Amino acid sequence: FLEYKWWPVWGMGKEEAVKFVDKFHETHKLEEVKLVEGALESINNLLNNNHELFVITARPIKFKEKVENWITYHLKTNKINVIHAGDFHKVQASTKAEICSELGIKVILEDSGETAIECAQKNISVILFDKPWNKIHKHKKIVRVKEWQEAMHALSSIIKKS
């Protein structure tokens, strides 16, 4: 994947790809979609140190309960605030950058280069998981990381500076 939009990568139109992804979200079981290595330990560490955590998702609102159940199932907590930004298939109600600004969120962990740039331009620090589809996105408020342990070091550094 060299771009964030997955339908060109799959060689199909956006509508067809949306139906394919929606079908996946409708039929997958919670235990089938695994956490990324290091995520559980890192998130638990943040929760144990009294950080307020948010998941801001643009998944369609019809999957709200499934998203929340996935978080509870894998992270074994209900202490994470889940915010639905709209529907990435259609028009978003609010962007992640707008939501962060409204809520006073100072740091976001992200993999979308476009979202990272938008957040950085609103003076939100971004920890960007380095992926082939976000290589071109650069900004002084963006720190690239390869994995969760590195992300936690970057977060610690950002917190110390503020």
- Give the pLDDT confidence of 30-61 residue by residue, as tens digits: 889 999 999 999 999 999 999 999 999 888 88
| pLDDT at site 35 | 93
Rounded to two decimals, the pTM is: 0.89
Mean pLDDT by 10 residues, the chain (162 residues): 80 89 87 93 95 90 88 92 74 82 96 96 98 96 98 96 85
CA distance 29 to 70: 9
CA distance between the termini of the chain? 35
Complete DSSP assignment for 19-79: HHHHHHHHH--GGGSPPPTTHHHHHHHHHHTT--EEEEE-S-GGGHHHHHHHHHHHH--S-
Contact criterion met (CB below 8 Å) for 54 and 103: yes
The number of residues making up the chain comes to: 162
Strand stretches in 90-131, DSSP E: 107-110, 125-129
| pLDDT at site 4 | 75
| pLDDT at site 85 | 79
